[in-house]
Amino acid sequence: MAVASSRRAHLGRLVHPFRRVDHPTCEEVRHLLPEILDGGELPSGDLVGHVERCLVCQAELARYRRLMRLLHQVRTVEVAVPAGIVGDVLSSIERAASRRAIRSVLSGRRLAYASAVLGAAGAATALALLTLGRTRDDRSRLSEGELSL
């Protein structure tokens, strides 16, 4: 009895939390197993009962459990890091840094050119306004002199 209840609790941990399947077939159980392995907690009596009674589904569950264990072990499988990869990464960063520096110099120069052009345009406008003002003054003085004569 104790063994049966512990077994039921053991299977209960595998039951999908949202889907309730009444009287599932092996095919349905097989289809649900990859979802169930995600950690559902709520037991569905029919599904648990099916797996408890069906050797084929128990075997399938065991295979999925083994697959999950193997997947967790994949991180321990050494992936050889190719020689020279650090050098390649550092070189590409070096190139990017050079490009960035060149862009920065170019954008600095562009700023300087733009400032110079704007300055020159401002100076020219000021000079033109000054000249225009003086011309008007001269004309008004000249016309005042003509009137006084």
Partner 1 sequence: MTALPAPLRQHGPGERLRGAEIDALAARAREGDRDAFEQLVVATTASCYQLAYRLVGNEHDARDVVQETYLRAYRGLKRFRGEAAVTTWLHRITVNTAARALERRSRSATATLDDDIELVEMRPDRLPEPAASAADDRSRLVAALGELPDGLRLVVVLRDVYDLPHRDIARELGISQSAAKVRLHRARRLLRERIFPARRAHAQATTGIPADEAG
Measured from the CB of residue 105, what is the shortest distance to partner 1 in angstroms?
17
Q: Which is nearer to partner 1, 39 or 122 (CB)?
A: 39
- Alpha-carbon dihedral 143, 145, 148, 149, rounded to 10 degrees: -110
CB-wise, 72 or 149, nearer to partner 1?
72
Long-range Cβ contacts of 29-38 (<8 Å, 24+ apart) = 29/54, 29/57, 29/60, 30/57, 30/60, 33/60, 33/61, 33/64, 34/64, 37/64, 37/65, 37/68
35 lies in the binding site for partner 1 (CB under 8 A):
yes
- The nearest distance, CB 84 to partner 1, in angstroms, is 9
Contacts of 42 (CB under 8 A, 6+ apart): 15, 17
Piece of the chain touching partner 1 by CB under 8 A; list 34-42, 119-127, 128-136, 138-146 = 34-42
Binding residues for partner 1 (CB under 8 A)? 24-29, 34-35, 37-38, 50, 54-57, 59-60, 63-64, 66-68, 70-75, 77-79, 81-82, 85-86, 88-90, 92-93, 96-97
